[in-house]
């Protein structure tokens, strides 16, 4: 499993092909006074398409990503039933001695208190796609654990949200020997809250659509559908986050895996049932949770504690589904409070153990965090 340095370098012909497709874009008429009720407003999509075609400098952003992110690829061998897979990842080391290894499947967070490894799961970004059926959470978990061990981190902690929930599977399969603790900003549990009802009725259609990957992949070749799809999610799944037009341009057009591969994860999860994919059984390793008010499926902390060994909780005053991008400082702050030497839940690798604290101790100490405000009173009530 040799590590190979990686730089993003999209061929010129791919950029030319994209521009040609954008030139052929035809937008539909807009229903008068519809606003966002019918989805992304056509006037906004027209602006985004024009930006993508005439104002977006891919090479500039490509160079910035290469300069900022230490990227690599590595073959992860003998993934259960699927052989070897070439995985793209970022490995950011820390100048701090004793920095904690943190596996972060998804967006990249840079913080000097951690040695961060974040990887594109198969089918996303520049990782090799899986071309056999049945690649599910156990395989994603095996991939993540093998990556950390190959980087020399036999003990580590994890953080994730949304599909980053595979870190729970890592905890179930590889804790406490390798995975010592985990944190999530997307705690899962069933409820009948208004936000969940909204998501079920009007926000989760993407999941049903993507359970037929080939059909949806063909549809996604219409270039105006890409910015409209991303635009809609960035606006309705967030907490009034001021997105720029540059952020609405989808990088998945240049994905190594193509337009269909990243959709297969929805099919595989749906094939075994959504609930078992996220909450299979009690996870014994210590867990931290950040509760985000505009998350797609907000839950009460007391419910989450029933299925997890919860040792840290934080009630955020703002934020939505893309917490790592919307509120990076706040999320990093929660990780520092959970895993730091003076945090509510410190991790000791030298002694091969985890310093655990009870839920009541954590709740009592949360009262002393000034930025929690009135949310700490809510936490005590539930």
Instruction: Sketch the domain layout of the chain as residue ranges.
Output: 3-66+202-271, 70-192+281-381
Mean per-residue pLDDT for 140-155?
Answer: 95
- What pLDDT is recorded for position 211? 45
The pLDDT, as a whole number, for residue 67 is: 95
Whether 181 has a pLDDT exceeding 80, the answer reads: yes
Using a 10 angstrom Cβ sphere, with 0-12 exposed, 13-18 middle and 19 or more buried, the burial of residue 362 is buried
The domain made up of 70-192+281-381 has a fold known as Rossmann fold (3.40.50)
Residue 71's pLDDT band (boundaries 50, 70, 90)?
Answer: very high
pLDDT of residue 349: 53
pLDDT at position 88 is 94
pLDDT higher than threshold 70 for residue 230: yes
Tell whether the model's pLDDT for residue 238 goes beyond 60.
yes
Instruction: State how far the alpha carbon of 119 is from the alpha carbons of 105, 106, 182, 254, in Å.
Output: 5, 7, 16, 17
Q: Average pLDDT for residues 313-339, to the nearest whole number?
A: 89
Higher pLDDT, 342 or 322: 322
Per-residue model confidence (pLDDT) at position 144: 95
Q: Other CB atoms closer than 10 Å to residue 177's CB: what's the count?
A: 12
pLDDT-wise least confident of 6-20, 30-44, 140-154, 349-363: 349-363
Residue 173 pLDDT class (50, 70, 90 cuts): very high
Q: How much is the pLDDT for 94?
A: 85
The predicted model gives 315-339 an average pLDDT of 89
> What pLDDT does 214 receive?
34
Q: Which of 36-45, 159-168, 198-207 has the lowest average pLDDT? A: 198-207
- pLDDT tier, 110 (very low <50, low <70, confident <90, very high otherwise): very low
Give 148's pLDDT tier (boundaries 50, 70, 90): very high
In this structure, the number of other CB atoms found within 10 A of the CB of residue 133 comes to 10
| Whether the model pTM is above 0.85 | no
pLDDT at 358 over 80: no
Mean pLDDT score of the chain, rounded to an integer? 76
Residue range 291-312: mean pLDDT, rounded = 85
Tell me the mean pLDDT in the region 110-121.
76
Least confident of 70-74, 83-87, 362-366: 362-366
The confidence band for 234, taking pLDDT boundaries of 50, 70 and 90, is confident
Residue 256 has pLDDT above 80, yes or no: yes
The pLDDT, as a whole number, for residue 72 is: 96
Per-residue model confidence (pLDDT) at position 375? 27
pLDDT-based confidence at residue 294 (cuts at 50, 70, 90): confident
pLDDT of residue 53: 87
Task: Give percent of the chain with pLDDT exceeding 90.
Answer: 27
What per-residue confidence (pLDDT) applies to 199? 60
Please determine, for residue 367, whether its predicted confidence score (pLDDT) is greater than 60. no
Q: Output 29 or 215, whichever has higher pLDDT.
A: 29
Average pLDDT of the segment spanning 313-333: 89
pLDDT on residue 295: 87
Looking at residue 189, its pLDDT comes to: 62
Model confidence at 218, pLDDT cuts 50, 70, 90, reads very low
């Amino acid at each position: 499993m040799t590590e190979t340095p990686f730089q993003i370098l999209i061929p010129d012909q791919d950029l030319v092909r994209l521009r040609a497709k954008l030139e052929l874009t035809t937008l539909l008429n807009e229903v008068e006074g519809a606003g966002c009720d019918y989805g992304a407003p056509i006037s906004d999509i027209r602006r985004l398409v024009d930006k993508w075609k005439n104002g977006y400098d891919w090479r500039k952003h490509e160079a910035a990503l290469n300069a900022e992110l230490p990227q690599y690829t590595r073959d992860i061998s003998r993934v259960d039933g699927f052989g070897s897979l070439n995985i793209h990842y970022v490995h950011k080391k820390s100048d701090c001695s004793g920095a904690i290894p943190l596996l972060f499947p998804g967006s990249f967070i840079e913080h000097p208190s951690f040695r961060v490894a974040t990887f594109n799961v198969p089918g996303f970004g520049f990782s090799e796609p899986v071309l056999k059926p049945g690649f599910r959470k156990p395989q994603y978990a095996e991939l993540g654990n093998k990556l950390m061990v190959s980087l020399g981190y036999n003990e580590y902690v994890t953080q994730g949200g949304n599909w980053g929930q595979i870190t729970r599977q890592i905890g179930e399969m590889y804790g406490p020997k390798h995975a010592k603790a985990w944190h999530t900003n997307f705690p899962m549990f069933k409820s009948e809250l208004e936000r969940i009802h909204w998501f079920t009725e009007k926000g989760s259609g993407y999941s049903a659509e993507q359970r037929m990957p080939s059909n949806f992949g063909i549809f996604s070749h219409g270039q105006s559908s890409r910015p409209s799809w991303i635009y809609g999610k960035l606006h309705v799944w967030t907490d009034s986050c001021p997105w720029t037009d540059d952020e609405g341009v989808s990088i998945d057009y240049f994905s190594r895996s193509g337009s269909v591969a990243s959709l297969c994860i929805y099919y595989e999860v749906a094939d075994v049932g959504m609930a078992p994919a996220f909450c299979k059984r009690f996870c014994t390793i210590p867990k931290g949770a950040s509760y985000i008010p505009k998350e797609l499926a907000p839950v009460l902390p007391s419910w989450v504690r029933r299925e997890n060994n919860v040792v840290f909780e934080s009630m955020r005053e703002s934020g939505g589904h893309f917490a790592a991008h919307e509120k990076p400082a706040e999320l990093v702050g929660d990780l520092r409070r959970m895993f730091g030497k003076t945090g509510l839940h410190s991790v000791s690798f030298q002694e091969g153990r985890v310093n655990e604290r009870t839920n009541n101790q954590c709740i009592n100490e949360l009262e002393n965090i000034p930025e929690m405000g009135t949310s700490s009173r809510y936490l005590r009530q539930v």
